[in-house]
């Protein structure tokens, strides 16, 4: 279901926030934003925005699968992003 509407300015801000201080995160977040975000479900969009509020070191641990986010929504979006680059 898609109900969320973002203005171009909001999308530009989200894309900017997808650029992180670590190349490893940039290589995961930017392509997901550019190629998936606009067509994603509201739940995935909300989870991605929530993900962008997290600290880089935490995200790095999650994406390297050394830890999992406690929040189920964050855990779900991390797995979706990883599945996109590491399909089973």
Taking the domains of the chain in order of start, what are their residue ranges? Answer: 22-85
- pLDDT classification of 88: cutoffs 50, 70, 90: low
Percent of the chain past pLDDT 70, that is, above it, reads: 93
- pLDDT classification of 1: cutoffs 50, 70, 90: very low
Global pTM reads 0.91
The answer for residues whose C-beta is within 8 angstroms of residue 20's C-beta and 6 or more apart is 26, 29, 56, 59
pLDDT at 74: 98
Please say if the pLDDT value at position 9 is more than 80: yes
What is the third-level CATH fold of 22-85?
Answer: DNA polymerase; domain 1 (1.10.150)
**28 contacts 49 by C-beta, under 8 angstroms:** no
d(CA 87, CA 79): 10
């Amino acid at each position: 279901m898609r109900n969320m509407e973002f203005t171009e300015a909001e999308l530009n801000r989200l894309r900017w926030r997808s650029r992180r201080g670590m190349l490893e995160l940039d290589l995961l977040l930017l392509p997901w934003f550019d190629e998936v975000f606009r067509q994603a479900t509201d739940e995935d969009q909300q989870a991605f925005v929530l993900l962008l509020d997290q600290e880089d070191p935490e995200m790095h641990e999650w994406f390297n699968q050394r830890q999992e986010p406690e929040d189920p929504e964050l855990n779900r979006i991390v797995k979706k992003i990883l599945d996109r680059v590491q399909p089973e």
